[in-house]
Structure 1
Amino acid sequence: MNWITNYVRPTINSLFSRREVPENLWTKCPECGTMLFHRELADNLNVCTNCDHHMAIVARDRLRALFDGGVFVEVAVPEPVADPLHFRDQKKYTDRIKEARKKTGEKDAMLVAEGDMGRTGVVVAVQDFSFMGGSMSMYVGNAIVAAAERAIALKRPLILFSAAGGARMQEGILGLMQMPRTTIAVQMLKEAGLPYIVVLTHPTTGGVTASYAMLGDIQIAEPNALIGFAGARVIEQTIGEKLPEGFQRAEYLLDHGMLDRVTKRTDLKDELVTIVRLLTRQAPAIKGDLPAPDITPTPAMVDADK
């Protein structure tokens, strides 16, 4: 009886019992409600395959999708003074930083990298909204300055992906000071004759919009991204009028001349390669892994022209 109870019955139950399915295998699209398999969603860069809704994507995954073969080298960013104001609300600022670093695996809200994109050398800075809302801190200011200096040293274009709710309140005026500081970094790029391209992602608001996020030579946005300085409710209360439908969304800003393009995330790399090579006066990129064709005229080509 013990043999049947202890061995046979558990073996039969294990063969016919329902297997547990991990909860993280499926993601529900917040826009259309479609259940999306996690690998399919990741392969599509966190864009819903049913309705094209653009979900959040972390900075490191964006960089892997952007650089050739997912290979890039991180650019070192100087560490600022930790907690300069000794700020505390419900928690210490230092504790919030530790939690954000543990959650995201990143030092702060911006990641800077260099590498090849479509066989074209670029420097890329990506703001990570999952790190304290992508808030503009002294570290973010240091990252943009480091990105600009590295782009100038390598004579490469700088591409910046913005995503933030504004300046980091725990750093007070020191966070707000990054607005003029990053503006000067952008001016350094322009004086060096290097392209500065901004891709505004959801959301880009506050002091970020009022500084480096709107100073690009080319302004691109992802579909339906929220872009603005103050919130819609604050603006309505200030002007005493109802705002238009879709106000502060990427498509509305494109229609009113604030943006140059609205581009799907899955098409963004090809478009950036085209723009970068155009601005740097390079030949169009060659699709695929084959090297560029040799266009040196041959004797047969010369005879054919005659």
Structure 2
Amino acid sequence: MAWFKRTDKGIKTSTEEKKDTPDGLWYKTPQGNIIHTRELKNNSYVCPDDEYHVKIGSKEYFEILFDENKFTELDTNMVSGDPLKFVDTKPYNSRIEATISKTELKDAVRTAVGKMNNLELVVACMDFNFIGGSMGSVVGEKISRAIDHSLKNKIPFLMISKSGGARMMEAGFSLMQMAKTSAKLALLDKAAIPYISLLTDPTTGGVTASYAMLGDFNIAEPGALIGFAGPRVIRETIGKDLPKGFQSSEFVLEHGFLDFIIDRRQLKNRLTTLLNLLKN
């Protein structure tokens, strides 16, 4: 019965010497599938078992899109001010400082220029980790300047949206970014420079109501939440149950608000094909 009893020849490890599995080594999808984080990264952060697209930020999108992850970041040191002296549970300035320290991001969007399959491209990518990807003055200004760079150098522009909407701590200053970015995109259209908008999970609020839906091509990742108000708010407002899959990218595509849905693993090549078609 040695199988069921520890013997002197068995492996003995003291409690002090036992080691836990390092955090972050495995990822579990909402469907319960488990994948090693290294395999997940090599698969463009898509779980191969259920095709779940893990929520990622600008760092990961730049790695996926830019050749050899080489790019020049634009307007790197722009930080939000506090024009309204907003105070909730703590001053807005303090929250900005704490979020910068925690995320190592300066605000909710990063902009960069580089090559994608040898094609020049300007990319603006939002980060949900920075106050829910909220659109404030810095977000609007950095996107506007990225568009200016596209205009000046006649380079296509890609916007990757991931946002909870306008930043309430900046109130009207935040809402003004909708008009500013939309006006800049009109100049891009006038100059016949391609603008592709990629909507990821989630894209809501003032971002959806402005630059996210103004692309020459509006595309999205599978299963992304896309809408203005959230499902709960809509349900409580109209007093009715919502259709199955309401506000998913598949639902939005079916109702004519998207051009197509794209798997993240195919994103770089599909964008290259699309831009080559537009160029020719």
Shared fold by TM > 0.5? yes
**What one-letter code is carried by the residue in structure 1 that aligns with 2:42?**
D
Question: Runs of at least 4 residues of structure 1 off by over 4 A?
Answer: none
Q: Calculate percent identity across the aligned residue pairs.
A: 45
CA shift, 1:190, in A, is 0.6
Output aligned runs, 1:279-294, within 5 Å: 279-281=278-280
* Equivalence for 2:21: 21
**What one-letter code is carried by the residue in structure 2 that aligns with 1:44?**
N
Asked if the contact 2:77/2:106 (under 8 Å) is kept, the reply is no
* Equivalence for 2:130: 131
CA shift, 1:43, in A, is 1.4
Output aligned runs, 1:100-139, within 5 Å: 100-139=99-138
Distance 2:184 2:65 in 1: 23
CA shift, 1:54, in A, is 1.0
CA shift, 1:256, in A, is 1.1
Give the 3 Å change call, closer, same or farther, for CA 260–19 of structure 1 in structure 2.
same
Distance 2:102 2:76 in 1: 20
Give the 3 Å change call, closer, same or farther, for CA 13–233 of structure 1 in structure 2.
closer
Distance 1:102 1:161 in 2: 23
Asked if the contact 1:144/1:185 (under 8 Å) is kept, the reply is no
Distance 1:93 1:199 in 2: 30
Asked if the contact 1:137/1:178 (under 8 Å) is kept, the reply is yes
Equivalent position SS for 1:153:
helix
Output aligned runs, 1:211-230, within 5 Å: 211-230=210-229
Give the 3 Å change call, closer, same or farther, for CA 40–80 of structure 1 in structure 2.
closer
Q: How many residue pairs were aligned?
A: 268
Select between 251-260 and 68-77 the one with higher mean Cα deviation.
68-77
Pair 1:256-2:255 in alignment = yes
Equivalent position SS for 2:113:
strand
Give the 3 Å change call, closer, same or farther, for CA 211–225 of structure 1 in structure 2.
same
Distance 2:23 2:151 in 1: 46
**What one-letter code is carried by the residue in structure 2 that aligns with 1:69?**
E
Give the 3 Å change call, closer, same or farther, for CA 268–81 of structure 1 in structure 2.
closer
Distance 1:196 1:66 in 2: 16
* Equivalence for 1:45: 44
In the superposition, the TM-score normalised over structure 2's length comes to: 0.91
* Equivalence for 1:274: 273
Give the 3 Å change call, closer, same or farther, for CA 247–185 of structure 1 in structure 2.
same
In the superposition, the TM-score normalised over structure 1's length comes to: 0.84
* Equivalence for 2:5: none
* Equivalence for 2:55: 56
Larger Cα-atom Rg: 1
**Structure 1 segments unaligned to the other structure (5+ residues):** 1-11, 282-306
Select between 269-278 and 79-88 the one with higher mean Cα deviation.
79-88
**What one-letter code is carried by the residue in structure 1 that aligns with 2:56?**
I
**Structure 2 segments unaligned to the other structure (5+ residues):** 1-11
Asked if the contact 1:124/1:160 (under 8 Å) is kept, the reply is yes
Q: Deviations over 1:118-158 (max 9, x none)?
A: 11111000011111110000000011111100001110110
Distance 1:245 1:32 in 2: 18
Output aligned runs, 1:1-306, within 5 Å: 13=13, 18-29=18-29, 31-76=30-75, 79=78, 82-281=81-280
CA shift, 1:78, in A, is 7.4
**What one-letter code is carried by the residue in structure 1 that aligns with 2:55?**
A
Distance 1:255 1:205 in 2: 18
Asked if the contact 2:166/2:205 (under 8 Å) is kept, the reply is yes
Equivalent position SS for 1:24:
coil
RMSD over aligned CA atoms reads 1.7
Distance 1:83 1:162 in 2: 24
Select between 116-125 and 95-104 the one with higher mean Cα deviation.
95-104
